[in-house]
Structure 1
């Protein structure tokens, strides 16, 4: 087997694994062919290799299930993963694109903590520091965290549907505004809220048509990095 054909085989094997979804009990050969657009003979051959390596199992009805090997790799990923290596570069990209400050909040009891922060180089900006605690009922990031915890109410339902939230004015400063999006990890677990914040008039000038697509793109990339399903986000 040439190097190129070997790489192609690996790509197709990974393509097979990638079409399994969280709500799939198993997938038949026909379903795998429909989802991958690969020939059935190719799928059968690659599935045999994946079974031998522990990535798939064949159950009595002939369909395929994900094996134990991905779970073992997932456990290694969870032990090794550190947000500090992945989130700040994304925040810096947002700040470079928008010239407004970017933050990453994680749930902390009945509140949220700013885990990572990159300030815009502007004289007037919101005064948020890494380690700051905020109540969940305050701001766009709080809305996102509550929404994806299942909080009831029209604002939370809208955030779950659209995958973003905004706030103009809060208890800290009525002149501030923020836009926020969720990020997810393995098993669709909410990891945190990614936010852009600054004076309300500046964010209004940028507009949601600029802010939301950039935030959603960043959320997709972080969600992929966290091991989550980036396909849940709406296409901007």
Structure 2
């Protein structure tokens, strides 16, 4: 009987945590606060259950009850976000995504950031194929040529106003940086829409055919979306692009 009670208590504890997460997840971009009815509608939970869970969240400073009776996310979430950002290092996350891209596309994968009027390759995983694009970590390349360079120019708020960003978070170039090289790149965002870098694949132009570009583009978009989410950015722009038929990319 004691074992049964312990299992029941653990199950109840897990359910309580899941309810708390459901309430926190109810908040969306642009929400300043939500009332009880809105929380109930978005979570599918009874109002009485929400009130009990919210009381615990308020005690832990994860939510705040405003004077008008609505609820707002609390300061503890900002504190946790700060701890996460302080511990976040690109080299803990980027290489794994590059290896995944190489495995899926067969082409070399790179991560670039802007350095003045140039772009620098911070991370690189080579293609296993003998004929490939030869880029090394630390290489400096033009900012105005090549898919990754264009991404760093077109999606950097310091260079381009957001209203002038390309419609899709993806740029494909063939023979631009070098006559026999093709590339596909997408931006990687951090918190507040900051541009963290450009994720790219590159290789011989002959392998960037009209038949292969759509599937390779999907791989790049998915990796950029997942890495953006991992770095605390908003991946919604990628979700929309990934949903587009490959032939439209």
Q: TM-score, normalised by structure 2?
A: 0.85
User: Structure 1: which 5+ residue stretches go unaligned?
Assistant: none
CA-based RMSD of the aligned residues comes to 2.1
Q: Measure how far apart 1:170 and its partner are.
A: 2.3
User: Structure 2: which 5+ residue stretches go unaligned?
Assistant: 1-7, 244-249
Per-residue deviation, residues 147-203 of structure 1 (Å, max 9, x unmatched): 22252799x64x3x22111111124x1111111111122222221111111111102
Instruction: Give runs of aligned pairs for residues 22-101 of structure 1, distance below 5 A.
Output: 22-101=29-108
Q: Measure how far apart 1:205 and its partner are.
A: 5.8
Per mean C-alpha deviation after superposition, the further-off stretch among 102-111 and 176-185 is: 102-111
Larger Rg: 2
Matched, 1:143 2:150: yes
Q: TM-score, normalised by structure 1?
A: 0.89
Aligned length: 232
Partner of 2:199: 194
Partner of 1:125: 132
* C-alpha contact 2:34 2:72 (8 A) present in aligned 1: yes
Matched, 1:223 2:228: yes
- List structure 1 segments (4+ residues) > 6 angstroms apart after TM superposition: none
* C-alpha contact 1:33 1:43 (8 A) present in aligned 2: yes
What SS does the aligned partner of 1:104 have?
strand
Q: Measure how far apart 1:95 and its partner are.
A: 0.5
Q: Write the distance in 1 (CA, Å) between the matches of 2:55 and 2:42.
A: 18
